[in-house]
DNA sequence: ATTGTCAATTTATCATATAAATCGTGCTGT
DNA sequence: ACAGCACGATTTATATGATAAATTGACAAT
């Protein structure tokens, strides 16, 4: 029952629960099908045909087709005449698509995923810090120091420690001056936010201001190698906690 | 003139050149609009309405709508009733979508994009090599050596050098055992294949077999730090070519 | 000046018809 | 018996027209 307005549809309202993100029928459809795919609902049974989806959810074929096209654009499915729409293998999925990432995290989160996230950060953030040290963007470096100051304020109880920590790491990604690194903002924010929820161990652990400052100072000093090493140390600490 | 079959359309065939990837009208439309967006055709003028696109390209509204939906899924545009479809700011684009990346690299003045992407590889691949050295997946390491052998064969003219080079790097990403690193397989392959075609500079350069072997040996020897360093050296060489 | 109303524009949705691609089946000819 | 071809069935692809919903801007009323 994705149905919103009336129109002349005769579909009975008994299916669906298209989630929250239903700004319109197509978005709701996309969300419902996306979640269903990542949770493996079609691993054993075939993906439904246009007609079946339209009937099951009580929407027109236009809506189902446009939703399926969007899933195709995100790499989740592939449609062919006569053979129908098929769920693509996992490695074809675009994991860095915000929707895909969200669907995945809502259900499939685990320590395993968190470790993989953190290993990715171990690759990304040191390089971003090194680039930031090379780029010499004064305004961006100012932001890094401002977020560092925010971490200090958080330590005094004047700000949210987690939010400040996240902001610092995003500032470094931004200071790299490389749009590809900026794309990881969402991943980093997610990884840090959920770290807390999944490892009690980290809860007591307050991020070391000194080690964060070392990264900022190395960037300021235009020393890429030191920036890389200091940033790597930060992530290695997280990795130790996650790996146990 | 995206027109393929006949049907009863009366559109005159005078627009388009939807590129190569027109396995069907919608794909061709997606490709044409995607390229137009990344090359800035709509920076100064508004994005056309459904009706305008359909008329200009001689396709039905179904096709234009589905193409626009796919562009929406990739973060390039956003459609709203009455205001029409708008090109989203660059930060909203999903740069890790293979289509988006290809469009970016195919346009003129893409050296900047290529440099940024290579900087990303500088972060990713060394870490992947280090993880591979830790993971100790025998079968994956065998694949790495098989691709290395393929590079040797290519040097003797028995295989495609570019394809072999790409396959080696993908094998390392795969050997990391981390799905997020595996994600980069598609974009790395896309970036290397398209950028080589569009930049003459790198063309003559044949990759060093010895330096590639060093990476494989370090992984085999289970020496993460050496694997990381050797892989970094490989990318640094590419970076010199792009920067220089 | 603020508010409410209405018309216009554009996307969103529905419905239906036809084309194209592909798979399986069964026939046909040897 | 078997290879190949014709044909029907299924599913997506495309075209078309109609109506709904959302939003903007102009304009009128207070």
| pLDDT tens, residue by residue, A63-112 | 999 999 999 999 999 999 999 999 999 999 999 999 999 999 888 788 89
Collect all residues from B whose CB is shorter than 8 A from any CB in A. Answer: 26, 30, 62, 65-66, 69-74, 90-91, 94-97, 99, 116-117, 119-120, 122-124, 126-128, 131, 176, 178-183, 185-186
Q: Which residues of B touch A126 (CB under 8 A)?
A: 123
Check residue A12 and give its pLDDT. 37
Residue B5 scores a pLDDT above 90: no
- If we measure between CA atoms, which residue out of B214, B229, B242 comes closest to residue B125? B229
Which residue, counting CA atoms, is nearest to the C1' of nucleotide D9?
A82
- The 10 Å Cβ neighbour count of residue A120 is 27
Chain B residue with minimum CA distance to A61: B62
Check residue A199 and give its pLDDT. 53
**In angstroms, what separates the C-alpha of A73 from chain B's closest C-alpha?**
5
Among A56-60, A229-233, B16-20, B76-80, which stretch is predicted with the lowest mean pLDDT? B16-20
A109-243 CATH fold: 1.20.120
Check residue A109 and give its pLDDT. 80
List the A77 CA – D4 C1' distance (angstroms). Answer: 34
pLDDT per position as a tens digit, A195-207: 766 654 555 566 7
DSSP string computed for A117-129? HHHHHHHHHHHHH
* Spatial distance between the Cα atoms of A120 and A202, rounded to a whole number of angstroms: 19
Check residue B21 and give its pLDDT. 59
Q: Strand C neighbours with CB under 7 A?
A: A 3-4, 7-10, 24-26, 58-63, 66, 80-83; B 4-7, 49-51, 61-62, 65, 68, 79-85
- If we measure between CA atoms, which residue out of A147, A117, A118, A120 comes closest to residue A132? A147
Q: Tell which strand C nucleotides have any atom below 7 Å from a protein Cβ.
A: 8-16, 18-23
Q: Which residues of B touch A96 (CB under 8 A)?
A: 94, 96, 183
Q: Among A66, A95, A183, select the one facing B95 at the smallest CB separation.
A: A183
A25-92 CATH fold: Arc Repressor Mutant, subunit A (1.10.10)
A1 against A179, higher pLDDT: A179
* Spatial distance between the Cα atoms of A60 and A8, rounded to a whole number of angstroms: 11
pLDDT per position as a tens digit, B207-240: 789 999 999 999 999 999 999 999 999 999 999 8
Check residue A191 and give its pLDDT. 80
Pairing of strands B77-80, B84-87: antiparallel
CATH 1.20.120.530 in chain A, residues? 109-243
* Spatial distance between the Cα atoms of A44 and A51, rounded to a whole number of angstroms: 20
CATH 1.10.10.10 in chain B, residues? 25-89
Residue B18 scores a pLDDT above 70: no
* Spatial distance between the Cα atoms of A124 and A217, rounded to a whole number of angstroms: 19
* Spatial distance between the Cα atoms of A171 and B155, rounded to a whole number of angstroms: 44
- Round the average pLDDT of chain A to a whole number and report it: 88
* Spatial distance between the Cα atoms of B207 and B212, rounded to a whole number of angstroms: 8
Burial letters B58-87, b for 16+ CB under 10 A, else e: bbeebbbbbbbbbbbbbbbbebeeeeebeb
The CATH superfamily holding the domain B98-243 is GntR ligand-binding domain-like (1.20.120.530)
B219 against A22, higher pLDDT: B219
B220 against B244, higher pLDDT: B220
CATH 1.20.120.530 in chain B, residues? 98-243
Q: Which residues of A touch B186 (CB under 8 A)?
A: 92
Nearest nucleotide, C1' to the C-alpha of A47?
D11
What ipTM is given for this predicted complex? 0.90
Check residue A89 and give its pLDDT. 97
Q: Which CATH number fits domain B25-89: 1.10.1740.10, 1.10.10.10, 3.40.50.300, 3.30.479.10?
A: 1.10.10.10
């Amino acid at each position: 029952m994705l149905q919103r307005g009336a129109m002349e549809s005769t579909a009975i309202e008994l299916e669906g629960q298209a989630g929250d993100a239903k700004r319109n029928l197509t978005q709701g459809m996309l969300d419902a099908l996306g979640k269903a795919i990542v949770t493996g609902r079609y691993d054993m049974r075939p993906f439904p045909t246009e007609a079946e989806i339209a009937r099951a959810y009580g929407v027109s074929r236009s809506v189902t087709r446009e939703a399926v096209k969007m899933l195709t654009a995100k790499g989740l499915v592939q449609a062919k005449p006569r053979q129908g729409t098929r769920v693509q293998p996992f490695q074809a999925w675009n994991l860095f698509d915000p929707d895909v990432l969200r669907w995945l995290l809502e259900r499939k989160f685990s320590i395993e995923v968190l470790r993989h996230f953190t290993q990715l950060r171990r690759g990304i953030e040191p390089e971003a810090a090194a680039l930031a040290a090379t780029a010499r963007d004064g305004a961006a470096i100012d932001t890094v120091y401002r977020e560092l100051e925010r971490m200090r304020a958080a330590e005094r109880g004047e700000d949210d420690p987690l939010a400040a920590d996240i902001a610092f790491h995003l500032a470094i990604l931004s200071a790299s001056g490389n749009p590809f690194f900026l794309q990881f903002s969402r991943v980093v924010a997610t990884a840090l936010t959920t770290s807390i929820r999944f490892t009690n161990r980290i809860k007591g652990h307050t991020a070391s201001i000194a080690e964060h400052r070392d990264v900022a100072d190395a960037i300021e000093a235009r020393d890429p190698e030191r920036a890389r090493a200091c940033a790597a140390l930060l992530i290695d600490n997280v990795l130790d906690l996650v790996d146990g």
